[in-house]
Amino acid sequence: MSQKKKRILFLCTGNSCRSQMAEGFTNALRGDEFAAYSAGVAPKDVDPRAVRVMAESGVDISGQTSKDVEQFIGQEWDWVVTLCDNAREACPFFPGLVKRSHRGFPDPPQLARDAASEEEALAHYRRVRDQIKELVLGLPRSLEE
């Protein structure tokens, strides 16, 4: 008898970087136990640098798209996880027996804004990517308060 996968919604402001990484890692590394989705409170295009550093780690997120959190309201979730402070503050109410968790990560585009080179910019993305991978590898324990 197969057990139902736990559903996780990862939220960020733009759904362009951190939440996309979390969705990609969860489905690639933990897809046997979890079904991950991502959305933003103000979605914009998926960040090409996020796609690049995820590909370096063996996970292809090039087919993922930014989605508005509004389209997920009313669905059943086991966890709704905010990955930035702005998303935590703007997160809509999700009815039902959903666990909310906040695991803030620095914003790679913001960190890379003043980078002297593309390699320096990518270093910020790689650091945050690796932190998000650790969160995903520790699921569900890493979401418990």
Q: Is 122 among the domain residues?
A: yes
What CATH number corresponds to the domain at position 102? 3.40.50.2300
Catalytic residue among 29, 39, 61, 91: 91
Instruction: Specify if 1 maps to a domain.
Output: no
Task: Evaluate whether residue 82 is within a structural domain.
Answer: yes
Note if the bond before 92 is cis, omega within 30 degrees: no
Residue 129: give the domain boundaries: 6-138
Instruction: Kindly report, residue by residue over 65-115, the tens digit of the pLDDT.
Output: 999 998 998 898 999 998 987 766 766 666 666 888 889 999 999 999 999
35 occurs within a structural domain: yes
Q: Are 25 and 59 in contact (CB under 8 A)?
A: yes
What's the pLDDT tens digit per position in 106-127? 999 999 999 999 999 999 999 9
What is the average per-residue pLDDT within 2-30? 93
Active site residue 17: no
| pTM confidence score | 0.93
pLDDT band at 36 (very low <50, low <70, confident <90, very high): very high
Q: Could you confirm whether 84 is annotated as catalytic? A: yes
pLDDT above 70: residue 43: yes
Q: Examine residue 115 and state whether it is found in any structural domain, yes or no.
A: yes
Overall number of domains in the chain? 1
Give domain status of residue 126, yes or no. yes
